[in-house]
């Protein structure tokens, strides 16, 4: 991408649009009563998705932007798992019956930190309270540094079929600068062991924009990873928000690359992956052509939810665990973020809802337009407008911004279709803002746009 375009937007702060409206706009006006009513209104026969959040890790990575806490052994995570089990009961009791589940996702933190026995107990509880479909996708985020054989055995027994591994960078200097020492051979061995055990679908997370990272080290990381042939690779830009994540102050800001360098790092990794046959998907994903995500993207079926890009078409996503977000036809609810109040609510048999948002008709329209832009890099205003009873032009929330992006060549218009050219893909989030009427209210909470 042209450096002058990058420079224009280097100070911009925009959401990642894993939901719309985004979480900073949720409020306490929506609470446990709405949560209970929306759970009760979930259709009994349509598959839903489950997200389970486990906010514990053994060691702190200094760049980490996730909701997690450090637990060097399994005592606290095991106690958490007991309450998570109670929350499963509580939520299931509000649902109209034993609803089918087609997607399960364990995120964190590092969900395997609960230990193999507690993990299996949780899955057993889920199977008792939900109809997990035989072909369901059962995914988990794993840290290759802490993947002992009993954990892998438990994952296999539980029916896990997709693992998402945190890698970030293989460069030892970068690893020292982020407090995450993870030799490449160990990561590659973990992928091999998981596949041999039957967990064949492997995703890998890489980062760019880390301290001491360079274009050369980014290229080298991809080259080291390619022999393992992961099914999907996500390349996230390091989001540095030390005012919200205090431990990020441990990172030496003088070692952070600037915006032009960040984009060059992303482009170098993208180029290497595409040269190896990976298909670029949305803002930051790459998949082998036969992977379901590549097929969904090609067919316009790709979706975006709180975990990022997904093939999951479900309308209902039930989130469990501290800070987890649920998505219903009516709107969003988020669980209490802090562990102590979350624990107290679950112990007392109350839904641990902190806040949420009821979707308006305009929210739904803008949500669809933003999702298509983030997933397809293009939006057909006529198609979106027709589904929401609005003229194509009236779908645009911020015409001034659209005019500016068109002038810069970041958005092109073809009839009623707005499209971001492939070389401007790092600016997809900027393009999505033309449909975002909440944006101005919370710029400080978002990471840089490029
Ligand atoms: C929950 S972690 C993955 C599982 C496990 N905890 C691990 O790190 O191996 C999710 C992913 O979020 C990404 N991530 C974490 N902090 C980030 C940040 N500040 N900016 C961008 N991405 C971040 C990393 O790529 C990480 O692999
Ligand atoms: S990146 Fe993963 S392992 Fe590191 S602290 Fe964050 S959640 Fe834990």
Query: How does pLDDT run across 313-359, given as a tens digit for each residue?
Result: 999 999 999 999 999 999 999 999 999 999 999 999 999 999 999 99
Among 266, 297, 320, residue at a domain's last position: 320
Nearest CA to ligand 1 atom 26: 166
Q: How many domains does the chain have?
A: 2
**Residues 161 and 99 reside in one and the same domain:** yes
**Residues 43 and 5 reside in one and the same domain:** no
As a whole number of angstroms, the longest Cα–Cα distance in the chain is 60
**Residues 72 and 122 reside in one and the same domain:** yes
**Residues 293 and 221 reside in one and the same domain:** yes
**Residues 79 and 8 reside in one and the same domain:** no
Does residue 437 form part of some domain?
Answer: yes
**For the chain, which ranges sit under pLDDT 70?**
441-446
- Site to probe by mutation for ligand 1, drawn from 15, 55, 207 as the one with most ligand atoms within 8 Å of Cβ, is 207
- The DSSP output letter for 360 is P
Contact 114, 76 (CB under 8 A): no
Q: Which ligand is nearest to the CA of 145?
A: 1
**Residues 418 and 377 reside in one and the same domain:** yes
With a CB cutoff of 8 Å and minimum separation 6, the contacts of 231 are 201, 202, 203, 287, 288, 291
Task: Output the domain CATH number for residue 165.
Answer: 3.80.30.20
**Residues 32 and 8 reside in one and the same domain:** no
Q: What share of the chain has pLDDT > 70, as a percent?
A: 98
**Residues 168 and 303 reside in one and the same domain:** yes
Ligand 2 in reach of 66 Cβ (< 6 A): yes
Ligand 2 centroid distance, CA of 319 (Å): 20
- What separation in angstroms does the CA of 138 have from each of 126, 144, 155, 202? 12, 18, 10, 12
Model pLDDT for residues 86-126, shown as the tens digit of each residue = 999 999 999 999 999 999 999 999 999 999 999 999 999 99
Ligand 2 in reach of 64 Cβ (< 6 A): yes
pLDDT the model gives residue 11: 83
**Residues 415 and 291 reside in one and the same domain:** no
**Residues 68 and 175 reside in one and the same domain:** yes
Task: Output the domain CATH number for residue 412.
Answer: 1.10.10.920
- What separation in angstroms does the CA of 118 have from each of 52, 77, 127, 220? 13, 9, 14, 38
Compute φ and ψ for 79, nearest 5 degrees.
-65, -40
**Residues 86 and 163 reside in one and the same domain:** yes
Does residue 5 form part of some domain?
Answer: yes
Does residue 340 form part of some domain?
Answer: no
Ligand 2 centroid distance, CA of 66 (Å): 7
**Residues 215 and 298 reside in one and the same domain:** yes
Token pair of 221 as six digits: 């990381």
Does residue 53 form part of some domain?
Answer: yes
Compute φ and ψ for 393, nearest 5 degrees.
-65, -30
Nearest CA to ligand 2 atom 4: 61
Residues framing ligand 1 (Cβ under 6 A): 57, 63-66, 107-110, 141, 143, 166, 168, 205, 207, 236, 238-239
Can you give the residue range of the structural domain that contains 52? 22-320
Nearest CA to ligand 1 atom 10: 166
Does residue 121 form part of some domain?
Answer: yes
């Amino acid at each position: 991408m042209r450096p002058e375009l990058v420079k224009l937007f280097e100070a911009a702060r925009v959401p990642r649009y894993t939901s719309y409206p985004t979480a900073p706009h949720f409020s306490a006006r929506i609470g446990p009563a709405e949560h209970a009513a929306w759970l009760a209104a979930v259709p009994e026969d349509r598959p839903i998705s489950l997200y389970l959040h486990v906010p514990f890790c053994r060691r702190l990575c200094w760049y980490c932007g996730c909701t997690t806490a450090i637990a060097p052994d399994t005592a606290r995570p095991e106690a958490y798992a007991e309450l998570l089990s109670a929350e499963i009961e509580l939520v299931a009791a509000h649902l109209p019956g034993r609803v089918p589940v087609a997607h399960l996702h364990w995120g964190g933190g590092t969900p395997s930190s609960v230990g193999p026995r507690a993990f299996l107990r949780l899955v057993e509880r889920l199977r008792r309270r939900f109809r997990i479909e035989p072909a369901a996708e059962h995914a988990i985020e794993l840290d290759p540094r802490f993947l002992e054989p009993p954990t892998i055995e438990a994952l296999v027994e539980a029916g896990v079929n997709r693992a998402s591994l945190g890698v970030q960078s293989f460069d030892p200097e970068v690893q020292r600068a982020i407090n995450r020492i993870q030799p490449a051979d160990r990561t590659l061995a973990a992928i091999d062991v998981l596949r041999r055990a039957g967990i064949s679908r492997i995703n890998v997370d890489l980062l760019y924009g880390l301290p001491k990272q360079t274009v050369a080290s980014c290229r080298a990381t991809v080259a080291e990873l390619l022999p393992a042939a992961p099914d999907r690779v996500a390349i996230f830009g390091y989001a540095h928000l030390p005012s919200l994540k205090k431990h990020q102050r441990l990172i030496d800001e003088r070692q952070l690359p600037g915006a032009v360098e960040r984009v060059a790092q992303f482009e170098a990794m993208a180029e290497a992956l595409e040269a190896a046959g990976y298909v670029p998907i949305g803002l930051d994903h790459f998949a082998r052509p036969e992977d379901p995500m590549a097929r969904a993207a090609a067919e316009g079926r790709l979706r975006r939810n709180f975990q990022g890009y997904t093939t999951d078409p479900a309308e209902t996503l039930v989130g469990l665990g501290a800070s987890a977000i649920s998505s219903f036809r009516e709107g969003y609810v988020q669980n209490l973020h802090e562990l102590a109040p979350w624990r107290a609510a679950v112990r007392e048999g109350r839904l641990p809802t902190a806040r949420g948002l009821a979707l308006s008709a305009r929210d739904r329209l803008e949500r669809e337009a933003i999702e298509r832009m983030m997933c397809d890099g293009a939006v057909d205003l006529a198609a979106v407008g027709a589904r929401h009873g609005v003229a194509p032009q009236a779908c645009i929330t911020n015409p001034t911004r659209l005019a500016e992006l068109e002038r810069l060549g970041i958005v092109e218009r073809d009839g009623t279709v707005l499209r971001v050219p492939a070389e401007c893909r790092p600016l997809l989030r900027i393009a999505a803002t033309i449909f975002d009427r909440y944006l101005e209210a919370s710029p400080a909470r978002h990471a840089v746009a490029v």
